[in-house]
Structure 1
């Protein structure tokens, strides 16, 4: 007996994700002004690694949060009895939007949650808008849907996509707030 689970995300979808969710937000981050007091801080010691224990811990914890959101979406989609295309679409769009929202986690640990160098950057908002359209439209455009093997999301699919894609960013922001309060 074999289990016939669909692949959670397909190779062409991975390429599309890399193009859409990485390129435009990265350009937008590069266009930002950065933190206002950055030049008042002393430089790091030359022998200090660029990625220290704190940065590696952050990377691992944020990766776990993003993967958790994706696996939760996959599990919820599988439990509904939806078609393989609907399951793949839900997982694909959850990963895509989670990566997109993750740009808001790139703020400095010294900055505030809402008003910070990321949220003040108009290029970020333009990139998020453009990328959201580039992610939301293909499932409804027959040629793109066929190429990417996605189905038009239903309201229930969108509920899972939005909830599971926002959850990692919310967890990361709550974790930062709690860490800062200690």
Structure 2
């Protein structure tokens, strides 16, 4: 959003779409993660020093890099359809879907300390249920015409879903390949 404003480019996501991501795509999985069973080894670990930041151990770097990766690929998923001649509404829908799917994938990664491709589905049933509900609600927004009007989205076809899936998986795959804890 910042770069589109700076470079006077079309806005990637509309306020209603950003609100949807914050409430449904982030909210439901976050609630499920709070109800998930914790790491069994957590209480056997040494206590952290009192003055240690919550962002110690590279967490701030991971947050920044993951945020940048998701933002970059969501933006890329916006500009690819535009370069192919799609209208801006479809391009926004693709970017919206990419952000939603990326966030849902990331919620699985947050469910386990070993955030890599082999531990993706380690999450609880609560998490699986919340991600499924979030995704189904998102599909309803796209494919029910009345909701599509409210959120200013278009129905998506096969090619658009391929862009979404590829751009949504890239942050996860890059992290799995380059993370130090694989």
TMscore range, shorter length: 0.7 to 0.9
What are the equivalent positions in structure 2 for 1:106-121 lying under 5 Å apart? 106-110=110-114, 113-115=117-119, 119-121=122-124
Distance in 1, Cα, partners of 2:115 & 2:155:
39
Cα shift at 1:31: 1.1
Bigger drift between 139-148 and 99-108 goes to: 99-108
User: Paired residue for 1:141?
Assistant: 144
Q: Which runs of 5+ in 2 are unaligned?
A: 1-6
Shift of 1:120: 4.1
On the 8 A contact 2:108/2:123 being kept in 1, the answer is no
Show the counterpart of 2:159.
156
1:62 aligns with 2:63: no
Query: Quick one: which of 96, 99, 102 aligns to 2:103?
Result: 99
Q: TM-score, normalised by structure 1?
A: 0.88
Measured in 2, the distance between the counterparts of 1:9 and 1:150 equals 10
Are the equivalent residues in 2 in contact too, given 1:95–1:165 (CA < 8 A)?
Answer: yes
1:128 is displaced (CA, Å) by 1.2
Compute the TM-score of the two structures, normalised by the length of structure 2.
Answer: 0.88
What residue number does 1:180 align with? 181
CA deviation string 1:105-141 (max 9, x = no partner): 214445774347x624111110111111011121111
> Which residues of structure 1 form unaligned runs of 5+?
none
Quote the RMSD (CA, aligned, Å): 2.1
Bigger RCO (CA 8 Å, 6+ sep): 1
CA distance in 1 between counterparts of 2:156 and 2:68 reads 26
Judged with a 3 Å threshold, the aligned counterparts in structure 2 of structure 1 residues 112 and 72 are, in CA distance, closer, same or farther, namely: closer
Whole-Å Cα distance in 2 between the matches of residues 172 and 180 of structure 1? 10
1:14 maps onto 2:15 in alignment: no
**What secondary structure is seen at the aligned counterpart in 2 of 1:137?**
helix
Change (3 A) 1:87 1:40: same
